């Protein structure tokens, strides 16, 4: 629990939220913004700022609940698809209590969340340099 954290306050019940799921370790509630109908946030009850700070156990506890919430949203609203997003650090992240966005998608919903195909910009050496840079940090 972090005193000035809005999601800790929601977990504690100090401020209201539209809760859709809760157990000992996680809480899921509607994003106040509703980027699309059913946009839901999944958070750990334990305060951790973002993905960089999660232990493997924290991550397992959080991410293992994702399919359940995703299925619930799919069943409820029959979207054409669903994006799962997790923002880390400013300026992407605005609430510094780690959370996963589950965003159901509908035809012409106006959300722009897509990856660009950059295959024509990358040669074998570029992939290899990128691979090496990341792998060096993981070995
Ligand atoms: P992010 O940019 O990934 O940190 O997103 C934080 C999200 O939290 C935004 O989509 C906000 O709409 C949402 N949010 C902020 N305050 C609340 C709140 N009190 N209840 C529900 N969602 C909130
Ligand atoms: Zn918090």
Q: What is the pLDDT of residues 8-34, one digit of tens each?
A: 999 999 999 999 999 999 999 999 999
Q: Residue 7's pLDDT is what? A: 98
Identify the bridge partners of residue 42 per DSSP, sorted by sequence position.
Answer: 28, 100
Q: pLDDT at residue 79 above 80?
A: yes
Distance between CA atoms of residues 18 and 75, nearest Å:
18
**What mean pLDDT comes out for the span 115-132?**
92
**What mean pLDDT comes out for the span 116-139?**
94
Residue with tokens 């059913």: 38
Q: pLDDT at residue 73 above 90?
A: yes
Distance between CA atoms of residues 28 and 64, nearest Å:
13
Q: What's the pLDDT band for 98 if we cut at 50, 70, 90?
A: very high
Of the candidate CATH numbers 3.30.428.10, 3.30.360.10, 3.40.50.1000, 3.30.9.10, the domain formed by 6-111 belongs to 3.30.428.10
Q: Residue 5's pLDDT is what? A: 98
Q: Residue 99's pLDDT is what? A: 98
47 catalytically annotated: no
Ligand nearest to the CA of 16: 1
The structure's pTM equals 0.94
Q: Residue 29's pLDDT is what? A: 98
Q: Residue 77's pLDDT is what? A: 98
Q: What's the pLDDT band for 67 if we cut at 50, 70, 90?
A: very high
The secondary element (H helix, E strand) that includes residue 31 is none
Q: What is the CA(57)–ligand 1 centre distance, in A?
A: 24
Domain spans of the chain, in order of start: 6-111
Distance between CA atoms of residues 83 and 79, nearest Å:
11
Catalytic residue of the set 39, 97, 99, 101: 99
Q: Which tokens in the block code for residue 10? A: 């929601």
**Ligand 1 nearest-atom number relative to CA 101:** 3
Which residues have their alpha-adjacent CB atom under 5 A from ion ligand 2? 2, 5, 7-8, 47, 97
Rounded CA Rg of the chain: 17
As for ligand 1, residues whose beta carbon falls within 6 Å of it are: 6, 17, 31-33, 41, 87, 93-95
**Ligand 1 nearest-atom number relative to CA 31:** 22
């Amino acid at each position: 629990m972090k005193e000035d954290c809005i999601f800790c306050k929601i977990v504690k019940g100090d401020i209201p939220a539209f809760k859709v799921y809760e157990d000992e370790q996680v809480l899921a509630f509607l994003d106040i913004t509703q980027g699309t109908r059913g946009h839901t946030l999944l958070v750990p009850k334990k305060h951790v700022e973002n993905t960089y700070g999660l232990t493997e156990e924290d991550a397992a506890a959080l991410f293992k609940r994702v399919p359940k919430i995703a299925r619930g949203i799919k069943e409820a609203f029959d979207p054409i698809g669903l994006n799962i997003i997790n923002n880390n650090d400013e300026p992407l992240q605005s609430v510094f209590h780690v959370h996963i966005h589950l965003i159901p998608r509908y035809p012409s919903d106006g959300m722009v969340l897509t990856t660009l195909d950059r295959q024509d910009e990358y040669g074998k050496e570029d992939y290899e340099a990128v691979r090496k840079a990341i792998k060096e940090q993981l070995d």
